[in-house]
Amino acid sequence: MRILFMGTPDFALFTLRALCEAGENVIGVVTQPDKPKGRGYQLQPPPVKVYAMERGIPVYQPETLKNGAFDEELKSLAPDVIVVVAYGKILPKTVLDFPRFGCINVHGSLLPAYRGAAPMQRAIMDGCSVTGITTMQMDVGLDTGDMLLKREVEIGENDNFGDMHDRLGAAGAALLLDTLRALSAGTLIPEKQRDSEATYAAKIEKADCFVDFTADARTVHNRIRGLSPVPLAFTHTPDGKLLKVVESRVCRKEGVLAAPGTVLSLGEGIEVACGTGSVLLLRVLPEGKGRMAAADFIRGRRVSAGDLLQ
């Protein structure tokens, strides 16, 4: 089949690489325009573009797909199927309907749970022990199309977003290859989603990153790991300085030991009281500094027992 790939970040790269290594006929890659990054705001190409150019695959970076803006390119490319992984733009009906096998999306959840922009982060933040990948026949709704294949992936109690991103990226790549094989063999059986069971994984906003120590220890820990290694959960030291948290563990599960946010003890980490129980902060990112072990932060005398983080 003639495959047109649409994707942008590292998560999409897992699937594009798998397609190429499997010898599939990837006729082109559509990705987001280059964006300025870093202190110098120099234009940086998306990871998918870099890989495609290394492989000699034609790259397209349209500003929009609306109002037929990409129709001529589609006609020229004549794909049999479009594979979409974290592309970052809404596909209009003219694009969705163009290939004879439609558009197949690799989504980072077990649909209909966690439709939307941040399914991996939200599943961790909600304390799920299992998530997964769904391949889906795309329609005009937001992750509402018919489900094709699914694969479960476990979430360990200390797994963070970075861990699950890579695990789900690899699982998604393998599942997409299985989906294409079944499509070619004519054995795919699409399954409609039950909208009544759908949940929504909203984009991560700054407000989501604030550590609310009034919650129980498990909830606090889940928020921290769901936002690590980026964008990172944060609190503030008594002097008002921003303190982002890279890694934590549940220390005590029960008991109200002090006012939420109170530093209870210092050692290998910073033990902080929660609404119920306590968490141990193991790695932090202080304002104006690099990431460091909490023990090093403690040695710098930036926090003391009895201090309140808020």
List pLDDT tens digits, range 41-81.
889 999 999 999 999 999 999 999 999 999 999 999 999 99
Name the β-bridge partners of 252.
278
Sheet holding 130-137, edge to edge: 59-60, 25-30, 2-7, 81-85, 103-107, 130-137, 147-154
Decide: helix, strand or coil at residue 49. helix
Token representation of residue 51: 């890989």
- pLDDT at position 41 is 80
Q: Which residues pair with 81 in a beta bridge?
A: 3
pLDDT (mean) for 234-250: 96
Q: What does the domain layout of the chain look like in residue ranges?
A: 2-201, 206-299
pTM score, two decimals? 0.95
* Residue 257: pLDDT over 90: no
**Contact, 306 vs 262, CB < 8 A?**
yes
Is residue 13 a contact partner of residue 47, using CB atoms and an 8 Å limit? yes
User: Mean pLDDT lowest for which of 12-16, 37-41, 132-136?
Assistant: 37-41
- Structural fold of domain 2-201: Rossmann fold (3.40.50)
What's the fold here for domain 206-299? Methionyl-tRNA Fmet Formyltransferase; Chain A, domain 2 (3.10.25)
Q: Looking at the predicted structure, is the pLDDT value of residue 103 above 80?
A: yes
Please tell me the predicted confidence (pLDDT) of residue 49: 97
Is the CB of residue 199 less than 8 Å from the CB of residue 113? yes
For the residues 297-302, what does the mean pLDDT come to? Answer: 85
Q: Provide the CA 291 distance to its chain's centre, in angstroms.
A: 21
- Confidence grade of residue 4 (pLDDT, cut at 50, 70, 90): very high
Cβ–Cβ < 8 Å for 305, 267: no
| Residue 113: predicted pLDDT | 98
* Token code pair at residue 193: 């989603």
Half-sphere exposure of 37 (CA within 13 A, CB side): 6
Compute the half-sphere exposure of residue 89: CA atoms within 13 Å on the CB side of its CA.
Answer: 19
Please tell me the predicted confidence (pLDDT) of residue 22. 98
Q: Is the pLDDT of residue 38 over 80?
A: no
Structure token digits, residue 103: 């558009």
Structural contact between residues 11 and 169, judged by C-beta atoms closer than 8 angstroms: yes
* Local structure of 258: helix, strand or coil: coil
Helices (H), 156-302: 161-185, 217-226, 294-299
Residue with tokens 């699950």: 164
Q: Inform me whether the pLDDT recorded for 114 exceeds 80.
A: yes
Residue 106 has pLDDT above 90, yes or no: yes
Query: What integer is the mean pLDDT of 74-101?
Result: 96
| DSSP letter (8 states) at residue 149 | E
Question: 128 in helix, strand or coil?
Answer: coil
Q: What integer pLDDT is reported at residue 300 of this predicted model?
A: 84
Which secondary structure element, helix H or strand E, spans residue 93, and what is its range? helix 93-96
Q: Determine the pLDDT at residue 121.
A: 98
